[in-house]
Structure 1
Amino acid sequence: MSEMSAMNRKLIQNLAETLSKQVKRFNKTEAECLIRLFNGLIGDQTERRVGNGLDRGKFRNVLHKTFGMTDDMIMDRVFRAFDKDNDSYVSVKEWIEGLSVFLRGTLDEKIKYCFDVYDLNGDGYISREEMFHMLKNSLIRQPTEEDPDEGIKDLVEITVKKMDRDHDGRLSFADFDKAVREENLLLEAFGTCLPDAKSIQAFEQHAFQEPLEH
């Protein structure tokens, strides 16, 4: 019995009940499965401060292995989007709240989430510099290109032209929101920060299958 599995059934069930009321997307059984999964992930966390939740490394592992994310900068931002209280750990509540948007969010929630991920410095705007950084990171380099940065700068200008509705040279939340509603494909314009349908399905099948009785 590890100390985490001692977080016994009753405790998990109570927590699941509370969290499923707070986070409308998951029912009690699903919340319970997600708590168990969370405990399992923490169980093999090397650091002893397991009380705080999932650390960045563990969380990025999940994003990479389960949801196929590869971009370091974006994974880091997703971690920050989940870690609402900025304590460098994703607590069980943050895990379930984050997954509710990640797996089953409405368009509204996803727009807000993606904007938060892309607003690298948290000032409420996505600047040209931020776009440049993210696109430079996420685009595959062609070895033949003389100066790939030029191509990325052009792409940034095209994006600003298309999405910057108030013409101040950067994207406010309102700009981003409007552009995505008109063209849903722009939701992840600056990098993959949401799972695709296939990995959502695989995750849910794995997470929500009937737990085996011990």
Structure 2
Amino acid sequence: MSEMSSVNRKLIQALAETISKQVKHFNKTEVECLIRGFHYLVEQNISKNTAGGLDRGRFRSILHDMFGMTDYMIMDGGIVFRTFDKDNDGSVSVKEWIEGLSVFLRGTLEEKIKYCFQVYDLNGDNYISKEEMFQLLKNSLNRQPTEEDPDEGIKDLVEITLKKMDHDHDGRLSFADFEKAVREENLLLEGFGICLPDNTSIETYERHLFEEQWEH
């Protein structure tokens, strides 16, 4: 048993060596912790068809439980899962998980802008259209029942947002539009829905992962 554990430890160290050279923001020791944590999460994955990765349902549960992310469209719609699952094979691998967490936990503003834009670009055409803004805002706003048509208020909000963010005035947001607007006003980063963990969740997760190192 101890020999097997030694082999596993060496495999993890070798994998950590490789991944730490390819992924920003984590050193080799931290990557080892992330790999161990990932294996712990995969062991609890009830799906048998993910080839050692996290399927969409398990991924959604983890982000909900660990980071308090609850936005229905962004989480249940699989949008964040899609940004992690870069090879689009229906499973988040250990490297994809660590790459995603590098942005989640320690990403620069530039990295977070790219990530959020990718999340909000629902159809992947490199623009956030009026229709996509409408869907995202309709989902993320908690509306109280009123006599007025709630969709009209959201349409008005989309127009206001376009006036503020659509710098080239083409009726949609390019990455350049989005980046410029967010750099001028950081609060616009998650303006179309919460898709990043808050600082408290990040601190708790890092403390649990890197300080306790999954000893329990």
Q: Normalized against structure 1, the TM-score is what?
A: 0.93
Report the Cα distance in structure 1 between the residues aligned to 2:143 and 2:64, rounded to whole angstroms. 21
- 1:143-202 residue CA offsets vs partner (Å, 9 max, x unmatched): 235311111111000001100000000000000011011111100110000111111001
Question: Per-residue displacement from partner, 1:68-106 (whole Å, max 9, x unpaired)?
Answer: 111132122111111111111111000001100111011
The answer on whether the counterparts of 1:118 and 1:190 sit within 8 Å (CA) in structure 2 is yes
Identity fraction in percent: 75
Most deviating of 70-79 and 123-132? 70-79
**Contact 2:33–2:209 (8 Å) recurs in 1:** yes
Structure 1: 5+ residue stretches without partners: none
Q: In 1, distance between residues paired with 2:153 and 2:133?
A: 13
Corresponding residue to 1:198 among 194, 197, 200: 200
* Counterpart for residue 176 of structure 2: 174
Q: What aligned pairs does 1:99-178 form with structure 2 within 5 A after superposition?
A: 99-178=101-180
RMSD of aligned Cα (Å): 1.8
1:212 Cα shift? 6.3
Report SS of the residue matched to 1:21: helix
Kindly tell me: are residues 158 and 210 of structure 1, through their superposed partners in 2, closer, same or farther at Cα, counting changes over 3 Å? same
SS at match of 2:87: coil
Q: 1:143 to 1:16 in 2, by over 3 A?
A: same
Alignment partner, residue 26 of structure 1: 26
SS at match of 2:208: helix
- When the two structures are aligned, how many residues end up with a matched partner? 211
Counterpart in 2 of 1:71? 71
**Unmatched 5+ residue regions in structure 2?**
none
Moved more, 53-62 or 202-211: 202-211
Letter in 2 for 1:171: L
